[in-house]
């Protein structure tokens, strides 16, 4: 088993080849396009491009306030964004890569509609690096800087719709060699790489700003799994792929012995002219026809126990916009009557070991579908599983398209070579991110935080914020508590979000006023609830700390009532006042008065 990762991170600021902001909102203007493939420099056409062209769909693009003529492919790209390039170089240095002398952007052909131009611009920044892990170094093959694709909104068999708000956002792709030995190691590697990128000041940090692709092989060809959305899904996705390929290997063994082929599709619409199946009735009403084909020797292989050949074939139909397919291992079902099934079986001369597939689609789609299904089945029988798959939201994968090759790459003629000179390298060195190990050591040794606190700051990507706040209010334990407990609890309790700028302002007041942690926490809560001007907090009576004499009066009263001990002095004291106080001072004065 071999595993490699491709991790993609968005950067905020400007888009990669124009000055548009990375953040935008939808507008009413819409563009419609169709894509046509072109040959590579060698006169060859990429297999993945051929597959998309067969689908023959049109593409609808919804423009946004941050999409200009560059995103609409009506204007040549501008110069590459300097800050994005500098960040990519700094990360390459942090991962011990060799930096290229010149960045040469290439066009990567994609005609699935995700780019208005039909290609994605990408350039190599660093090569031959590594990341340290508990299992040894994982080698980094390349670090590239590219423009992100458009965001898909919906698709069916006739069209796909995209938003242009994401198109052109700077995207850093970090690709590892297949040095990862198992699922847990993949998770550790992704986490270590991710931490470096997320610690950069211009990491975008939105919901879809990180995407992980997993390259996986069990000896049956490389499977590229696109879009693993969460770190925890890496483990689930690999486990699913292991089980899927083991099952397909068993199916392949059976079909090689028995033989297997798909018949031509027959139009069986007349059999269902009076059907009670709501799904079929709706399809016929919309102008679609009902087609069926026989697949020999697949009975109980389509969907039975660990066998799911039907899903492998249904993915092909789904990619054409056909809403999946029905097969005999699922019958009776879908509201189809026994009489209708028998008529279908008799028409197709179904043998005892054969399977039947039924699809609902337009007549002009059926020949293309049959060709793709036969090709898919042949690859499974021969265990040629090299392909691109999509990660699903539940940790599974589905067939997407053939694996792309070198034929889809050719030089970008509109973007000149960019020389990486000494000044740029020096600027990049100043922002090289610290590794998780370095940060953890600082939190433990320099700031004296516990392992639990340091893990919390690292795992929640709060280190940069922590350092900024420490420079204002130099109490590491207090800052740690605020970031890991106080602020998350306030945000959850009051369904709000306290921004970093607001925290900084409150800490500046706390520093000048001599507030301790309790004052700061109360100030944050008042600000969250009342939404008042931060500068008004200093004037509020409940935020004025008790002096020593006031603390002595309250403690004396509690001692006289014989109601306190050193263990319960703080909660008892809180009940006697709405003002803030220094807890250490309260315990100190209590001990003196008690003695």
Q: Which CATH number belongs to the domain containing residue 340 in this structure? A: 3.30.1360.30
Residue 156 has pLDDT above 90, yes or no: no
Same domain assignment for residues 469 and 442: yes
545, β-bridge pairs: 580
pLDDT class of 284 with cuts at 50, 70, 90: very high
Whether residue 509 contacts residue 580, with contact meaning beta carbons closer than 8 Å, is answered with no
Helix 82-94 with 183-198: angle, nearest 10 deg:
130
Assigned domain for 587 exists: yes
Whether residue 210 contacts residue 108, with contact meaning beta carbons closer than 8 Å, is answered with no
Same domain assignment for residues 83 and 152: yes
Residue 577 has pLDDT above 90, yes or no: no
What pLDDT score was predicted for residue 333? 83
- Give the C-alpha separation, 264 to 250, whole Å: 26
Residue 305 has pLDDT above 90, yes or no: no
Cβ neighbourhood burial of 50 (10 Å; 0-12, 13-18, 19+): middle
What pLDDT score was predicted for residue 546? 77
Assigned domain for 318 exists: yes
Number of domains present in the structure of the chain:
4
Same domain assignment for residues 326 and 442: no
Same domain assignment for residues 166 and 57: yes
Residue 53 has pLDDT above 80, yes or no: no
What pLDDT score was predicted for residue 174? 97
How much of the chain exceeds pLDDT 70, in percent? 97
Same domain assignment for residues 9 and 113: yes
The DSSP output letter for 111 is -
Domain boundary (508, 523, 543) is at 543
Assigned domain for 390 exists: no
Same domain assignment for residues 493 and 554: no
What pLDDT score was predicted for residue 302? 94
Residue 326 has pLDDT above 70, yes or no: yes
Angle in degrees, CA 144, 408, 225, rounded to 5:
65
pLDDT class of 415 with cuts at 50, 70, 90: very high
Domain boundaries, position 464? 436-543
Tell which wins on pLDDT, 198 or 11: 11
Assigned domain for 425 exists: no
Tell which wins on pLDDT, 488 or 532: 488
pLDDT class of 41 with cuts at 50, 70, 90: low
Assigned domain for 230 exists: no
Same domain assignment for residues 64 and 205: yes
- Give the other-Cβ count within 10 Å of 107's Cβ: 21
Assigned domain for 103 exists: yes
Residue 401 has pLDDT above 90, yes or no: no
Same domain assignment for residues 66 and 209: yes
- Give the C-alpha separation, 139 to 3, whole Å: 12
Same domain assignment for residues 288 and 184: no
Residue 591 has pLDDT above 90, yes or no: no
pLDDT class of 83 with cuts at 50, 70, 90: very high
What pLDDT score was predicted for residue 312? 94
Question: Residues 365-372: what's their mean pLDDT?
Answer: 92
Assigned domain for 93 exists: yes
Same domain assignment for residues 166 and 293: no
């Amino acid at each position: 088993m071999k595993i490699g990762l491709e991790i993609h991170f968005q950067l905020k600021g400007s888009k990669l080849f124009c000055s548009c902001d990375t953040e935008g909102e939808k507008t009413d203007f819409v563009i419609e396009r169709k894509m046509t493939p072109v040959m590579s420099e060698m006169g060859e056409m990429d297999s993945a491009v051929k597959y998309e062209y067969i689908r023959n769909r049109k593409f609808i693009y919804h423009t946004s306030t941050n999409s200009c003529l560059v995103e609409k492919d009506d204007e040549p790209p501008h110069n590459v964004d300097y800050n994005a390039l500098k960040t990519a170089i700094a990360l390459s240095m942090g991962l011990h890569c060799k930096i290229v002398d010149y960045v040469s952007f290439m066009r990567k052909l994609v005609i699935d509609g995700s780019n208005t131009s039909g290609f994605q611009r990408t350039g190599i920044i660093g090569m031959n690096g590594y990341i340290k892990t508990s299992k040894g170094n994982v080698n980094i093959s390349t670090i590239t800087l590219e423009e992100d694709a458009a965001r898909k909104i919906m698709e069916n068999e006739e069209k796909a719709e995209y938003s242009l708000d994401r198109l052109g956002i700077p995207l850093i792709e970090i690709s590892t060699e297949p040095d990862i030995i198992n699922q847990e190691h993949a998770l550790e590697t992704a986490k270590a790489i991710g931490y470096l990128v997320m610690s950069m000041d211009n990491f975008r940090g939105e919901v879809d700003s990180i995407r992980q692709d997993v390259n996986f092989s069990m000896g049956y060809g490389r499977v590229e799994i696109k879009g693993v959305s969460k770190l925890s899904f890496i483990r689930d996705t690999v486990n699913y792929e292991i089980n899927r390929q083991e099952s397909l290997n068993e199916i392949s063994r059976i079909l090689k012995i028995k033989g297997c082929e798909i018949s031509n599709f027959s139009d069986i619409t007349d059999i269902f002219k009076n059907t009670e199946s709501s799904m079929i009735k709706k399809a016929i009403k919309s102008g679609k026809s009902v087609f069926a084909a026989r697949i020999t020797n697949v009975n109980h292989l389509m969907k039975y126990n660990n066998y799911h050949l039907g899903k492998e074939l249904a993915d092909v139909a789904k990619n054409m916009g056909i809403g999946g397919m029905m097969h005999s291992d699922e019958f009776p079902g879908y509201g189809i009557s026994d009489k209708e099934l028998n008529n279908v079986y008799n028409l197709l001369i179904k043998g005892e070991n054969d399977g039947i597939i039924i699809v609902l689609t337009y007549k002009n789609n059926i020949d293309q579908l049959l060709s793709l299904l036969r090709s898919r089945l042949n690859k499974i029988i021969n265990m040629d599983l090299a392909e691109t798959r999509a990660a699903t939201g539940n940790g599974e994968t589905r067939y997407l398209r053939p694996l792309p090759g070198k034929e889809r790459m050719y030089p970008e003629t509109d973007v000149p070579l960019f020389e990486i000179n000494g000044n740029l390298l020096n600027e990049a060195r100043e922002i090289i991110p610290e590794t998780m190990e370095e940060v953890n050591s600082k939190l433990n040794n320099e700031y004296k935080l516990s392992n639990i606190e340091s893990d919390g700051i690292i795992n929640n990507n709060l280190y940069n914020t922590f350092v900024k706040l420490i420079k204002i209010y130099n109490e590491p334990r207090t800052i740690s508590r605020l970031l890991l407990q106080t602020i998350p609890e306030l945000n959850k309790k009051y369904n709000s979000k306290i921004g970093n700028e607001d925290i900084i302002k409150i800490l500046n007041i706390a520093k000048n006023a001599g507030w301790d942690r309790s004052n700061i926490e109360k100030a944050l809560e008042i600000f969250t609830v009342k939404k008042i001007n931060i500068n008004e907090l200093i004037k509020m009576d409940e935020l004025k700390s008790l002096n020593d004499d006031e603390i002595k009066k309250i403690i004396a009263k509690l001692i006289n009532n014989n109601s306190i001990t050193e263990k319960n002095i703080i909660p008892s004291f809180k009940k006697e006042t709405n003002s803030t106080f220094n807890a250490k001072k309260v315990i100190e004065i209590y001990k003196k008065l008690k003695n």
